[in-house]
């Protein structure tokens, strides 16, 4: 299952930056776990795992992302 930046975290169509991945590539995660933080104009938002499994990170920390961007995958 893709890990997607939610479209409802912030209002404007501003880009965000992944400030930290809070799990390593390949780590085991549970659905709902906090896995990353992204920042939009100095406000930080949380990204949680959409399912349980092993994580594959496709967008590294400091990457610029937008609403709906795929930043990784849980398999």
Partner 1 sequence: MYLMENERKLTIARAMAEATAQEMRLDEKVFVMGEDIGQLGGVYGNTRGLIEEFGEERVRDTPISETAFIGAAVGAAQDGMRPVVELMFVDFYGVCMDAIYNLMAKNIYFSGGNFKVPMVLMSSVGGGYSDGGQHSQCLYGTFAHLPGMKVVCPSNAYDAKGLMTQAIREDNPVVYLYHKGLQGMGWLGTEAGANVHTPEDAYTIPFGQANVVREGTDVTIVGLGMGVHDALKAADKLAEAGTSAEVIDLRTLVPLDRDTVFNSVKKTGRLIVVDEDYQSFGVSGEIITTVVERDHSVLRSTPARVAYPDIPIPFSRPMERFCLPNPDKIVTAFNQMKDN
Considering the rule CB under 8 A, would residue 64 count as an interface residue with partner 1?
Answer: no
74 binds partner 1 (CB under 8 A): no
How many residues of this chain interact with partner 1, rule: CB under 8 A? 18
Which of 14, 32, 39, 58 lies at the binding interface for partner 1 (CB under 8 A)? 39
Report the nearest approach of partner 1 to the CB of residue 2 (Å). 20
| Dist CA 69 CA 17 (whole Å) | 11
∠ Cα 58 64 65 (to 5°): 70
DSSP symbols for 39-71: EETTEEEEEE-SSSEEEEE-S-TT-EE-TT-EE
Contact positions vs partner 1 (CB under 8 A)? 17, 19-24, 27-30, 33, 37, 39, 42, 44, 61-62
């Amino acid at each position: 299952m893709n890990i997607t930046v939610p479209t409802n975290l912030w209002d404007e169509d501003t880009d965000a930056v992944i400030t930290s991945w809070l799990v390593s590539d390949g780590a085991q995660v549970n659905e709902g776990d906090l896995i990353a933080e992204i920042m939009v104009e100095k406000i930080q938002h949380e990204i949680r795992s959409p399912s349980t499994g092993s994580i594959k990170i496709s967008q590294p920390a400091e990457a610029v992302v937008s609403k709906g961007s795929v930043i990784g995958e849980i398999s």
